[in-house]
Structure 1
């Protein structure tokens, strides 16, 4: 990859302190609605932040994109591995900067090597594993992220043991439909964060996607005209 894109992709460890945030500021930004889910108010470099889809509760993919939005807008490079159904239109609507987003929809059986390589040069690497991941593989990828100052973000239904923080949607409510009319306008999403250390106590946040609902415009008043004969 570095041979194909000379000068465009660098190891996180090779970035300057100001660019990589490896000095006093080791936290990548998140949207204001998500800050309270993290003890450090953002994505700590070198950490593993898992996003767990929950059966029967929608919103996990939207949550994932929200986590990438502020960081990519701030100049961070993000990669998503193993999610062929991820839509670029949806990513853009959630605020992800597409010019700093790389997609590897079909990494193949050697996906761990792909993820390890991306951790060398990208700030956030999302990995969607098809099945359970061995403890040794989880440990190797987490160690790689710590060494390179990247954020490893597993997107898996099975628990990712060893993650610093695990996020999962708890409740998703759509708004906009009335009795036989209207259209879906926004969604109210409640997210729970559980972790270890300072993040051991569960944290919850409820926010709107893509934003607070906008009240429908008032119906124009009808003007009654009378004809004088």
Structure 2
């Protein structure tokens, strides 16, 4: 598998990010530099697959190639709705026990790697991947704990909007994200987000606004619950 991935890398003709990989404006305050630093790891916990995808949205729309490794059954429609340009996304769903080799190959060829390890992460494997990512200018966002992660994001709570008395339509999801880490990221921060709002956008939840989502615009589907 890693040989195939290594052969694919030159064909991506990727646009390497600059000093930072951009993120959506709503997510900038979660990161000490308002972007993802190549060669550094951001770990996401608390079941935040949507948050991982949202972190990749601005990068792909700016022309940076992104790979999602280990996310079996990843919903491409959901990824697109969160803003990811699917034309700049490579998906490797189930690398199995050779996930580390696949991650090394991808980190050498893309600007952003979303990674869900298939098992516990050995410190030596983590160090090697970070070294490759730093050399290749690849930012790393990992689902779950990671040894020495520079930034740690945790989805502390989530709630859906749109349900009435036992029936209604799920229109928007509100989450609270706690951010911490090492160095400049050590000070814990708390951010409320619509992920997404009723229009499909990722935005900061305004604490001064009423605690409900705006009406769904005509033509946008929603999930009925009865």
TM-score bracket relative to the smaller structure: 0.7 to 0.9
Structure 2 counterpart of 1:42: 35
Uncovered stretches (5+) of structure 1, i.e. residues with no partner: 218-229
Q: Secondary structure at the match of 2:148?
A: coil
- Number of residue-to-residue matches in the alignment: 200
Please, which runs of 5 or more residues in structure 2 have no aligned partner?
A: 199-212, 218-226
Matched, 1:183 2:169: yes
**CA distance change for structure 1 residues 196 and 96 in 2, over 3 Å: closer, same or farther?**
same
Find the aligned partners of 2:216 and 2:86 in 1 and give their Cα distance.
Answer: 31
The answer for the alignment partner of 1:171 in structure 2 is 157
TM-score, structure 2 normalization: 0.82
Q: Are 1:33 and 1:205, in contact at CA under 8 Å, matched by a contact in 2? A: no
Q: 1:49-102 deviations in whole A, cap 9, x for unaligned?
A: 1112x2xxx5x1111111011111111111111111211111011111111111
The 5-angstrom pairing of residues 1-229 of structure 1 reads: 1=4, 5=8, 8-9=11-12, 19-22=15-18, 26-52=19-45, 54=46, 60-156=48-144, 159-211=145-197, 213-215=213-215
CA distance in 2, matches of 1:154, 1:2: 19
> Aligned equivalents of 2:192 and 2:95: distance in 1?
34
1:146: Cα distance to partner?
A: 1.1
Inter-partner Cα distance in structure 1 for 2:39 and 2:32: 15
Tell me which structure has the larger Cα radius of gyration. Answer: 1
Q: CA RMSD in A?
A: 2.0
